[in-house]
Amino acid sequence: MPQAELIDGKAVAASVRDEIARRSRDLLKAQGVKPGLAVVLVGEDPASQVYVRNKDKMAQAVGFHSVKHTLDAGTPEEDVLALVRALNEDPDIHGILVQLPLPAHIDESKVLRLVKPEKDVDGFHPINVGLLTAGERSAALVPCTPAGSLVLIKRTLGPDLSGKTAVVIGRSNIVGKPMASLLLQESCTVTIAHSRTRDLPDVVRAADIVVAAVGRPQMVRGDWIKDGATVIDVGINRIPAPDLGPDKTRLVGDVAFDEALGHAGAITPVPGGVGPMTIAMLMSNTLTAARRQLGLGEDIPAF
Ligand code: GUN
């Protein structure tokens, strides 16, 4: 049985990070400006705390001005909105990220719509969603996880994806829908599959590129994968691992990895695949946002 090539997201993310750090130093030298990233965390969700800490660490590592705002879970909606308004007007801040999920008493879409589109480094504002959907990628800020997934696909298959069949499993606003838009713009023939899709195994079997983003551990089975396909596993699921000891857990993706190894041409591991790319692309978006706000050209490599 063929053994799939592993797509090393950590290594690709490190190369993106080095490139951003270099360009950030150039910007500081030429303009005296550091790209500024503000991350807002409301509440104590442990996974969100880890993500926010990692974003802050990476922002500092690439030479950005990094600000973290931690608000407690009971913070009134109006206070969160006031903070976003202040960050919108702060000239030292070029990128604003509000960590999701927000506590239930806060209207997520109200907060996301208030972020200035040019500072929306998550790419969640309807203006950025619209620009991406309309094919104006060069004017948009693109959500980080799909942007990072596309980099991994191109590193694997080369820059020209035209005519390839792609299946995106999952229709979330954060991953599935923007991923489908990006692949469509690369002239792939794109299917968006979801929980109501009939004959999902057969739909997946037709795909040269499979992006799994459903949040269901090991749902995509190895024999669903066309021989030689490129598999991008966006899922991060914690499952019990009694083989490691009582109460032990492990992280797995949405794809049954061991099975898929015998079918795929290339596959991302979990962890160490898409995850590291998300934060790297956040840095890329922040640099892009800073350059645009300073009236400079893009100067962003396609990675
Ligand atoms: N929570 C889970 N994923 C994301 C993301 O990409 N951005 C933000 N802001 N919150 C998240």
Q: What is the CATH number of the domain that holds 62?
A: 3.40.50.10860
How confident is the model at residue 66, as a pLDDT?
98
Residues 148 and 272 in one domain: yes
Residue type, 186: E
Q: Whose CA is nearest to atom 1 of ligand 1?
A: 100
Q: For residue 177, report the distance from its CA to the centre of ligand 1, in Å.
A: 15
- The residue from 119, 120, 122, 254 that is catalytic is 122
Residues 237 and 152 in one domain: yes
What is the C-alpha separation between 120 and 54, in angstroms, rounded?
19
Q: Residue 109 falls within a domain, yes or no?
A: yes
Q: Residue 55 falls within a domain, yes or no?
A: yes
Q: For residue 230, report the distance from its CA to the centre of ligand 1, in Å.
A: 25
Q: Whose CA is nearest to atom 4 of ligand 1?
A: 100
Is the CB–ligand 1 distance for residue 279 below 6 Å? no
Q: Residue 124 falls within a domain, yes or no?
A: no
Q: Residue 6 falls within a domain, yes or no?
A: no
Active-site residue, 26 included: no
Q: Please give the residue range of the domain that contains residue 210.
A: 144-276
Beta bridge partners of 65: 36
How confident is the model over 4-8, as a mean pLDDT? 98
pTM of the model: 0.96
Could you give the number of structural domains in the chain? 2
Assess contact for 279 and 18: CB atoms under 8 A.
no
Q: For residue 52, report the distance from its CA to the centre of ligand 1, in Å.
A: 9
Assess contact for 19 and 301: CB atoms under 8 A.
yes
Q: Residue 188 falls within a domain, yes or no?
A: yes
Active-site residue, 208 included: no
Q: Whose CA is nearest to atom 11 of ligand 1?
A: 100
Tens digit of pLDDT for each residue in 85-98?
999 999 999 999 99
Q: Residue 248 falls within a domain, yes or no?
A: yes
How confident is the model at residue 1, as a pLDDT?
61
Q: Residue 252 falls within a domain, yes or no?
A: yes
Residues 108 and 197 in one domain: no
Give the ligand 1 atom nearest the CA of 282: 6
Residue 85, C-beta contacts closer than 8 angstroms, at least 6 positions apart: 114
Q: What is the CATH number of the domain that holds 258?
A: 3.40.50.720
Determine what percent of the chain is predicted with pLDDT higher than 90: 97
Identify the burial level of 116 via C-beta atoms within 10 angstroms of its C-beta, where 0-12 means exposed, 13-18 middle and 19 or more buried.
middle
- The residue from 34, 99, 119, 254 that is catalytic is 99
Least reliable range by pLDDT among 46-50, 125-129, 218-222, 223-227:
46-50
Residues 152 and 110 in one domain: no
Q: Residue 171 falls within a domain, yes or no?
A: yes
How confident is the model at residue 297, as a pLDDT?
76
116 pLDDT more than 70: yes
Active-site residue, 122 included: yes
Residues 58 and 110 in one domain: yes
Mutate to test the pocket of ligand 1, among 37, 42, 51, 144 (most ligand atoms within 8 A of CB): 51
Tens digit of pLDDT for each residue in 96-109?
999 999 999 999 99
Q: For residue 242, report the distance from its CA to the centre of ligand 1, in Å.
A: 30
Mutate to test the pocket of ligand 1, among 52, 122, 125 (most ligand atoms within 8 A of CB): 122
